Amino acid sequence: KKKTKQKKHPSNSAKNINHYTNVRGLPSIEKIVSSVEDTPRPISTQIIGTIPEWINGNFLRNGPGKFEIGNHKFNHWFDGMALLHQFKISNGQVTYKSRFLSSDSYQTNKEHNRIAISEFGTVTMPDPCKNVFQRFLSRFESHKPTDNANVSFVTYKGDYYVSTETNIMHKVDPETLETTEKVDWSKFIAVNGATAHPHTEPDGTTYNMGNSYTSKGSYYNIIQVPPTKKTEDETLEGASVLCSIPSVDKTKPSYYHSFAMSENYVVFIEQPIKLDLLKIVTGKLRGKSISDSIFWDPKLNTIFHLIHKHSGKVSSIKYLAKPLSTFHQINAFEEDGFLIIDLCASDDGQAITNYNIQNMRKSGEALDEVYNTLSRAFPRRFVLPLNVDRETPYNQNLITRPNSIATSVRIAKNKVFCTHEDLHGEDLHEYGGLEFPQINYHKFNTHPYRYFYGCGFRHLVGDTLIKMDLCGKRMKVWEHPGQYPSEPVFVPSPNATEEDDGVIMSVVITPDESTFLLVLDAKTFEELGRAVVPVNIPYGFHGTFIATA
């Protein structure tokens, strides 16, 4: 599985399909993107090794768990009905339970025994009981956004929510996994949705981003949510839009999955993955899903927008970079007049459409082809000079940090062009790059840091766990053939003095055997123990650990 140069495949040259790797013989992962039943009553797990007794709390995970309703199948991995998982850890023992999110989408689909609410990659099936004319009219009915919140668990004002990227979140009880309230962002502020990756300050103040669509075009909004509740039953009261940034192309805003935050700035990365709003609006008439309205435009640069968190003022300086695609940031911090942004990025933004269910269930050469045409994501560092003024010279590298090979060059009055530094050595290529990055968030988010953790991707899903040491860019790897670990979550030990004092938790999916919760020593990356679950779990997206006193 060697790194190969990007080449155009001769037989596909008409379609202009890029090949980034030349991997052969990938094993089938069909079973880890297959539907399961939920297990709402806790079941015990088998402990192998030792789960440290100081770990007390709930490890919560979110992801798709049901990929068909009746005879109708969802098209895209992101469309599966949200299944919430809880690993309750106490005194070295672990119980497991799961529950389908009781969303309107889930209930309506169940009631009709068909896909009745459109998802990211799947359009609703017309009601078979309606005549041709009624079916045609139903295409004109108002487009109801899905509330199938299957991406992550997030916190606002101390409450837990599950989120996707529409305007609807669900408040969830982390003990029972039951949905207690449906919350609509647009009832509080003028946005049409919000990301599933907010950032939280130490005091609990939370920042997020969401789009709004007006007669003047589309806007990217920075959202601020207060840290605490004034009354017990409130949700997003007091949320405000810190600032609105107009999309360069009014009808084709950029897609973004997350954003970066440093001590004083929110950083919005406007990447050349575009949403064609006209196509989205007419999609239902044409029987097309939202995923058909997303496209990659490599003729455009990537733009970093800096927003001051306390004033809401947008920097007049635009920081440009070559086209890149990013889903997850690692960290961002300010030091010596520079803003350092670390993120996972690839040079091609067409990946999102490759993750349809049909592709993920392929086997043999067809599966290899899907993988080899996907551009890998790698950790990168951009260094943005904060003090660009009239005196700042043009056409020379402004980065004066020692040992930094990133560059920032002023090319116009308000434009600085940036190139990145790789946050890895050549050896990461052997592991298929890195995604689902995590850090010791509570202590080191927005601060200089040394370690990050992630999944290596020698398959369409993570197949290794990686710890990266930025001092020397050295890696530690956990791997086991045929086992697919999910996003690693760092949990600090009670009396931690060093950044990596703690454990890494990851749910590992094995297609033909049982799933298990893996606990690694974060420092040595050696396995401490695992809790084997006697039921199958599909591969999920994001999770969080909630410590209990």
Tell me the pLDDT tens digit for each residue of 164-189. 999 999 999 999 999 999 999 999 99
Using a 10 angstrom Cβ sphere, with 0-12 exposed, 13-18 middle and 19 or more buried, the burial of residue 393 is: exposed
Those residues whose C-beta lies under 8 Å from the C-beta of residue 459, and which sit 6 or more positions away, are: 26, 27, 29, 371, 432, 484
The β-bridge partners of 333 are 340
pLDDT at 137 over 70: no
Rounded CA-CA distance 14/18 in Å is: 11
Tell me the pLDDT tens digit for each residue of 408-433. 999 999 999 999 999 999 999 999 99
Q: How confident is the model at residue 2 (pLDDT cuts 50, 70, 90)?
A: very low
Q: How confident is the model at residue 130 (pLDDT cuts 50, 70, 90)?
A: low
Q: Position 267: which residue type? A: V
pLDDT at 6 over 70: no
pLDDT for 132 equals 55
540: left (phi over 0), alpha (psi -120 to 50) or beta: beta
Tell me the pLDDT tens digit for each residue of 239-272. 999 999 999 899 999 999 999 999 999 999 999 9
pLDDT for 353 equals 75
Q: How confident is the model at residue 7 (pLDDT cuts 50, 70, 90)?
A: very low
Tell me if 85 is assigned to a ligand binding site: no
Domains (range + CATH), the chain: 30-547 (2.140.10)
pLDDT at 281 over 90: no
Q: Are 178 and 230 in contact (CB under 8 A)?
A: no
What values do phi and psi take at 533, rounded to 5?
Answer: -100, 130
DSSP 138: H
Tell me if 420 is assigned to a ligand binding site: no
Tokens of 310: 């306390």
Residue from 524, 436, 403, 537 nearest 483 by CA = 537
Rounded CA-CA distance 450/470 in Å is: 5
DSSP 141: S
Rounded CA-CA distance 416/304 in Å is: 10
Higher-pLDDT residue of 116 and 198 is 198
Those residues whose C-beta lies under 8 Å from the C-beta of residue 416, and which sit 6 or more positions away, are: 317, 318, 319, 320, 384, 385, 388, 398, 408, 409, 410
Q: How confident is the model at residue 352 (pLDDT cuts 50, 70, 90)?
A: confident
Using a 10 angstrom Cβ sphere, with 0-12 exposed, 13-18 middle and 19 or more buried, the burial of residue 481 is: exposed
Tell me if 442 is assigned to a ligand binding site: no
**pLDDT > 90: percent of the chain:** 85
Q: Point out the least confidently predicted range of 32-41, 346-355, 393-402, 530-539.
A: 346-355
Tell me if 328 is assigned to a ligand binding site: yes
Residue from 381, 470, 466, 469 nearest 422 by CA = 381
Give SS3 for 280: helix
Q: What is the mean pLDDT of the chain?
A: 93
pTM confidence score: 0.94
